[in-house]
Structure 1
């Protein structure tokens, strides 16, 4: 007999609206993310600007709404002026020890994003540069003609301002690996001054302060509070970064990665709220979770051990399995359940580098298994996240302690209710969906079940994995009064929709 769980939700009890910017990504000048990723002028599908049409089509299918650029670690030594105008130097990127041609820069990226309806999230270099360069980039992107940097944009062929709204104040500057690494006081003062100058150029922008690079950083918590003490009056969000992997065959802990993400979000929110209390502020600072994914970091030798490389080297091109896809689905459930505090998030990255989309130069683009839960969640999660109360058993894990067997998120609007369920257990679980306040007819959906074999590279493997482990669901469509029941296979992620008949209570 399967285990049992229940998920209780009601349209009157809500967490918060889903901000569409939750489904963002990272496009970094790293490896093959840009060159032979989104940009390959000689590719058969490329447009007149040199950008691959097959990648753009898959990004649209994925549901990408926001793209962070140009990094990532890359931004901490980036001279943005090198990437605009006709004369572009070849330079050594200190972040990834790669010769950067600067063929793609600010204008090319922003126009690519504009053509495809993607909102840009620009990052400024606060590693090797500072206030003046950051304010100049805002002026270049958003200023009206008639001043130095805006006129340079016009001279480079773009008359109308881009109107970039989201700006990251550097990247991972708490990390010793970061070029221009700083302590919390140093970074907090710089972020406050750079942010002040940037908002004097354009008061409408939103600023994101660097939070901790992971919950395991020795400065975590203290970093957030110190930085926000300095920058509270100028920033709008604080960032979080986290990557998850299976350690030494510890499958149970890996499947419970959503629990670690949940704890991280709650602790960052608590740190921000503590600063608000000390400052007598009623503002609830929100979070930009602008780097998250499954990344087998233990396989990466570290940037210091990379040889200097030219062109577009193959760096951290992780090949994903259906197990990884189930974990990505669980992480998305966690993000949805924090919709009130996390309006922004970026799956890192979009193409080739720990990415849901892979390419070959001159050849095809294809979907990795992690593509499927992200695309389905971006498509279905529209409206308001309901307060879904899960009752279930727990399972022990080495890294996270006892964790729930089942996680769930429920998102509803006037037309449909989307339900996302994860079974972390090695046994099937029967889940009672308790929905007082509405009768629910469950219709189609999608399911990913974990595999037990190592992933292999290439489109043939990805297609075979999808065929074996990704299933389209056709549910009965019968209107169920107050209660519905679904059976979850072991180690699976499931998403489906229902149409509701609301009734007064």
Structure 2
């Protein structure tokens, strides 16, 4: 492959109007897996923890990202989680059959809500759609949101929380279609199960925003919407594209780039299923688990299998491939902001998360910087844009070498441009309503010395964004290879 500059044209057209987007697209996810909770955001006794056991460095990093919403407690974990075991003064440790480890239940609903309030994020609770019941789900809503003098509201008050938590966002089940889930359901079972669960949850609180586990597949999701669509606000879909759960054979940069257009395909497929079911405009998409790389957890509960989960924390995994993929993912969600109203990177800390937590501090991985750039740079409305670029090919596949999104508000415009090419700069022609841009643009660029550059405990700032200016000459701007670039005018 040559490293001659790739060519791209980005034409933002205000004639096609603006699409407001939901900040929940920048959401996050945390699960009781390995060291995400214990030894991650929650570490009582650590000199870096506050009086509630929450890591203050993690809280500060989450605030820096402007995280709007956090999905919890799973994930696979939730299919064997019973909320009532993890509230009150007498916690009941349990063996979690999803992750095959003992769960102390010292971080439960009350701790999660308290953490969310300190972090300034909206809580999003995923309920047990595995071995749980509709009754258990609605009792959980009563515990968090009940304001009358009822059994579970009284229990919350007895646990020291008089005012209702008013948890707005709820999900029914996690990947309930998969045989890897405890209590997996069939197509015939899932729709009626969700309908009954949603009906009972709404009987407790009519104002909740409710999702249910789905896939971009007509058979599963059409049946779900047929039975339960009238109760739902969202369908929940998940995507990981470098599948590593069994073998930790991390894909190289170019292989990862070949997956950068797959999330958009999933969104379009799900949009079509929603339309076919007759719920366009009424049911939206929550892409509430996403990441380039899946979590490594080889089967079994032997000491060797459990120890292998530590491989998720190898720093060389998290390169500019992860950064560029993440930007491409967010651009896809923003382009479809009329139907995608939430997305949650999975997870926030450790495993594949943008924040790596160790006993002495944190490391901000390449994806952290992408998420922070989007949080700070995006304006209120997405401008319709046509993007064309030289193909980037690898192993019989190809994607556009350049991807971009343009947003605007009353004060100006922002373009976020990703150059997926590993070694060639991108000569991008930027147009607004067909007119090439001219002059000096404020820029923030995230790039690495190589496509495999990464941050680690030893070198936490090997990859950092840099602020600069770029000149648009006859509309052309040069974007470095394997980079994410914010442009403002």
TM-score under structure 2 normalisation? 0.91
Q: How far off is 1:6 after superposition?
A: 1.0
Equivalence for 1:501: none
Aligned pairs (5 A) from 1:45-60: 45-60=48-63
- CA 476–4 in structure 1, closer or farther in 2 if over 3 Å, else same: closer
Aligned pairs (5 A) from 1:386-465: 386-398=383-395, 401-425=397-421, 426-436=423-433, 442-449=441-448, 451-453=450-452, 458-464=456-462
The answer on whether the counterparts of 2:15 and 2:433 sit within 8 Å (CA) in structure 1 is: no
Equivalence for 1:134: 137
- CA 69–451 in structure 1, closer or farther in 2 if over 3 Å, else same: same
Equivalence for 2:246: none
> Are 1:90 and 2:93 matched, yes or no?
yes
User: What is the RMSD computed on CA atoms of the aligned residues?
Assistant: 2.5
- CA 307–80 in structure 1, closer or farther in 2 if over 3 Å, else same: farther
Aligned pairs (5 A) from 1:145-224: 145-212=148-215, 220-224=217-221
Which of 231, 235, 249 aligns to 1:238? It is 235
* Distance (Å, rounded) in 2 between the aligned partners of 1:424 and 1:282: 33
- CA 69–193 in structure 1, closer or farther in 2 if over 3 Å, else same: same
The answer on whether the counterparts of 1:405 and 1:423 sit within 8 Å (CA) in structure 2 is: yes
Equivalence for 1:473: 467
Q: Which runs of 4+ in 1 moved over 6 A?
A: 308-313, 437-440
The answer on whether the counterparts of 1:261 and 1:331 sit within 8 Å (CA) in structure 2 is: yes
C-alpha distance after superposition, 1:223-270 (max 9, x if no partner): 111211111110110011011229785643411323111101100110
Query: Which has the higher mean CA deviation after the structures are superposed, 416-425 or 79-88?
Result: 416-425
Aligned pairs (5 A) from 1:259-270: 259-270=261-272
Q: How far off is 1:47 after superposition?
A: 1.5
- CA 119–72 in structure 1, closer or farther in 2 if over 3 Å, else same: same
- CA 306–442 in structure 1, closer or farther in 2 if over 3 Å, else same: farther
- CA 352–301 in structure 1, closer or farther in 2 if over 3 Å, else same: closer
C-alpha distance after superposition, 1:402-424 (max 9, x if no partner): 42121110111112322111122
- CA 333–449 in structure 1, closer or farther in 2 if over 3 Å, else same: farther
Equivalence for 1:340: 338
Q: How far off is 1:447 after superposition?
A: 2.4
C-alpha distance after superposition, 1:136-174 (max 9, x if no partner): 000111110400111100010001111111101010111
Query: Which has the higher mean CA deviation after the structures are superposed, 255-264 or 196-205?
Result: 255-264
Give unpaired runs (5+ residues) of structure 2.
244-248
Equivalence for 2:69: 66
C-alpha distance after superposition, 1:254-312 (max 9, x if no partner): 11323111101100110111111xxxx55442100000012155xx2434355499999
C-alpha distance after superposition, 1:47-97 (max 9, x if no partner): 211111111001111221110011111110101001100000111111111
SS across alignment from 1:241: strand
Q: How far off is 1:463 after superposition?
A: 2.2
TM-score under structure 1 normalisation? 0.88
Aligned length: 476
SS across alignment from 1:462: coil
SS across alignment from 1:257: coil
Query: Which has the higher mean CA deviation after the structures are superposed, 162-171 or 333-342?
Result: 333-342
SS across alignment from 2:179: coil
- CA 193–307 in structure 1, closer or farther in 2 if over 3 Å, else same: farther
> Are 1:495 and 2:489 matched, yes or no?
no
SS across alignment from 1:461: coil
The answer on whether the counterparts of 1:256 and 1:424 sit within 8 Å (CA) in structure 2 is: no
- CA 420–160 in structure 1, closer or farther in 2 if over 3 Å, else same: same
* Distance (Å, rounded) in 2 between the aligned partners of 1:250 and 1:40: 34
SS across alignment from 2:445: strand
The answer on whether the counterparts of 1:14 and 1:387 sit within 8 Å (CA) in structure 2 is: yes
Give unpaired runs (5+ residues) of structure 1.
499-505
The answer on whether the counterparts of 2:355 and 2:368 sit within 8 Å (CA) in structure 1 is: yes
